[in-house]
Amino acid sequence: MSRTGATGGRLPGRRAIHLVLPTAIVLWLLALRHVNLRGMDDLGLLQVLPVLFWVALALLTLGFCLSLGDRRTGNGRLLAYVLGLIGMIHATPSLLYPELRYSWAWKHVAVVDAMLRHNGDVPNPTGFDIYNQWPGFFQLNVLFLRATGLESCLGYAQWAQPVFNVALLGPLLLLYRSVTRDRRLIWGGVWIYYVCSWVGQDYFAPQAFAFLLCVTVIALVLRQLPTSALPHPQPHDRSWPRGRLIAVLLIVAVVASSHQLTPIMLITALAFLSLPRRNRRVTVPVLAGALAITAVWDSTVARPYMSKNIAGMLRALVTPDTNVTSGLHRLGTSPPAQVFVAWVDRSLTAAVLLLAAIALLRVPWTRRTGLPLVALSPFPLLAANAYGGEMLFRAYLFALPAAAFLVATLLFGRTGRPRLRTLAVYPVLLALAGSLVFAYYGKEAIYSFTPQELAAARYAVATAPSGSQFVSLGGSSPGIDMHYDDHLGTQIDLQRFITDRQQPGDLQAALLKITGNSTIKPTFVILNRAALADNRLNGLLPARTISRLQAVLPRTPGFTLAYRNRDAVVYRYDPPVRRQLS
């Protein structure tokens, strides 16, 4: 009787837990109905997300904690929570924004379009030649467009972030199941990965694609190791079946043909995994194959890029301190809100790495797995190259899959009262999720674009004669790279030609110097909302310099106003020879 009463008393509580996930999803979708994108300023999307969004995120996190602490929760429910988290974080911009997010995504759309038109390498790439040398990602998109009959990848590129993150779920689960059979650690590691993945390299780009394949290769390698927790048909023989090894090397070849950095990260991870002698029967064949494939690709298809940049790579080897700190400067000239966002993402990075290090000390069995080696492997590359100031954060990106699981062993380790332990870490997960939202959404004034900005870019591209050049203020100008193979210089950064102390006369001279690259064809100068926000939020040039530039442009000889709307303005410069001909 008492058993029945106890069971009956628990049923309402279990039903309530089952309602948490759909309630959180409904609240999230309702929150998106009241977002005024025009209200974004120094804190990006954070300023316009309603309270309901935060309530939904907190409720989703609570429901996951309760479900993870209940032994009766099935994998399907935990999967649904993770998919809900991916949707809430990564599908929000896709649902809210009328145009594709990130200017680099627009560049990649332009590359796919050009390769589709030319059926392969793009002639006259004018600064885009690197994509001819690592075309794997773009050519796969071309194949997809031809197979489906679609004319452009723009429609699905807008959904790349949720799609890439959902696709990554499979390799993450395989990676963690290769280490343990404890469901709480597996799903806890997956959750921690997604609430700590703030770097933002998941948009429509070769990096996102290559990273997905890199994690897949590492997961397949760990599955084959002697320490793997997964069952094996021949427990005493962990060598590679021929077919599986060939499949892994084919994935490595796709990585090597798609991105210049990811093969190096993969090779260092395989090299670290080869340090224990017991692993070498599994890791050395893949490591040797990865080295050979990358060397062949870099010395043949990518040889022009390697020849041009090898001197800079060698110089970077003797400046490791600069490489490490290159991504941490310039905060002093940014607005206080952006300084705060920068410190949030740095603090989140430090917290994850610190918790992972503590886990190695507190949870001894993790040291017998390959995950600590995978987590450490990207960081020696910090001393080798700055990668445009991004190497520190790229290293964190590649370390995160392993580091997230280590953090999970610390937070969700075995205990006599798993539900109590899970609830105790709820504030930690909530803090991680909140930090992620700040780091991930804090620069959306730069990363998002309005239809008016795209209209200006499309006008310029459509009216520009062959051989014209485009000039923008920084890199946040979407759409001006379309048909880059038909233009002299697709995008020139004004910031390289002007300084913060230049007077109007100096600005006119700088503008004429830029346009001097083309003696016959016109130049189009585009100033758009996101580019101005990029300049302000990153502290690149003072506001007074930008104001002077906007005042000087219409008064500079040869410049005429060609197009204007609420969010962008286009000036056209015709060289003297062209003006005389007209």
**Would you list the DSSP string of 457-526?**
HHHHHHHPPTT-EEEESSS--TTTTTTGGGSSEEEEEGGGT--TT--HHHHHHHHHHHHTT-SSS-EEEE
Helix (H) or strand (E) holding 528: strand 523-528
- pLDDT of res. 487: 81
Q: DSSP 3-state assignment of 561?
A: strand
CB 219 within 8 A of CB 178: yes
- pLDDT of res. 7: 44
**Sequence-distant (≥ 6) Cβ neighbours of residue 76 within 8 angstroms:** none
CA torsion sign for 296, 298, 303, 307 is negative
Q: Taking the CB of residue 106, how many other CB atoms lie within 10 A of it?
A: 25
Runs of H (alpha helix) within 384-484:
391-411, 418-424, 426-441, 444-447, 451-463
- How many alpha carbons fall within 13 Å on the CB side of residue 75? 8
Cα-based angle 236, 242, 247 (whole degrees, multiple of 5): 120
569: which strand partners?
527, 564
**Sequence-distant (≥ 6) Cβ neighbours of residue 493 within 8 angstroms:** 472, 473, 474, 475
For the chain, the first-to-last Cα distance in angstroms comes to 98
d(CA 514, CA 494): 8
d(CA 546, CA 553): 11
Domains of the chain, by residue range, sit at 449-581
Instruction: Report strand pairing: 489-493 vs 469-472.
Output: parallel
- pLDDT of res. 447: 96
Tell me the residue length of the chain.
582
The owner of tokens 């309603």 is: 50
Own/partner long-range contacts of 155-160 (Cβ < 8 Å, ≥24 apart): 157/100, 157/105, 157/108, 157/109, 157/204, 158/94, 158/97, 158/99, 158/100, 158/101, 159/91, 159/94, 160/105, 160/202, 160/203, 160/204, 160/205, 160/208
- Label residue 35 exposed, middle or buried (CB < 10 Å: 0-12, 13-18, 19+): middle
Instruction: Report strand pairing: 568-573 vs 523-528.
Output: antiparallel
Name the E strands within 9-118: none
d(CA 437, CA 483): 35
Own/partner long-range contacts of 497-500 (Cβ < 8 Å, ≥24 apart): 498/541, 498/545, 498/549, 499/541, 499/545, 500/541, 500/542, 500/545
- pLDDT of res. 385: 64
- pLDDT of res. 2: 40
Distances (CA, A) of 495 to 196, 470, 512, 517: 33, 14, 14, 16
Q: Taking the CB of residue 41, how many other CB atoms lie within 10 A of it?
A: 15
**Sequence-distant (≥ 6) Cβ neighbours of residue 73 within 8 angstroms:** 67
3-state helix, strand, coil in the chain (%, to 5): 70, 5, 25
d(CA 182, CA 159): 33
d(CA 340, CA 43): 9
Q: b/e map of 396-432 (b: 16 or more CB within 10 Å)?
A: bbbbbbbbbbbbbbbbbbeeeebeebbeebbebbbeb
Taking each helix axis from N to C end, the angle separating 183-196 and 51-68, rounded to the nearest 10 degrees, works out to: 160
**Sequence-distant (≥ 6) Cβ neighbours of residue 308 within 8 angstroms:** none
Q: Taking the CB of residue 335, how many other CB atoms lie within 10 A of it?
A: 15
Cα-based angle 148, 250, 205 (whole degrees, multiple of 5): 55
- Residues 143-192 pLDDT 10s: 999 999 999 999 999 999 999 999 999 999 999 999 999 999 999 999 99
Runs of H (alpha helix) within 197-279:
206-224, 242-258, 262-273
d(CA 458, CA 382): 39
Cα-based angle 32, 36, 38 (whole degrees, multiple of 5): 145
CB 473 within 8 A of CB 535: yes
**Sequence-distant (≥ 6) Cβ neighbours of residue 523 within 8 angstroms:** 468, 469, 470, 471, 514, 515, 517, 572, 573
Positions of the chain with pLDDT under 70: 1-14, 232-238, 312-332, 384-389, 415-419, 488-506, 516-519, 577-582
The owner of tokens 């427990």 is: 235
- pLDDT of res. 6: 42
d(CA 568, CA 376): 45
d(CA 52, CA 27): 6
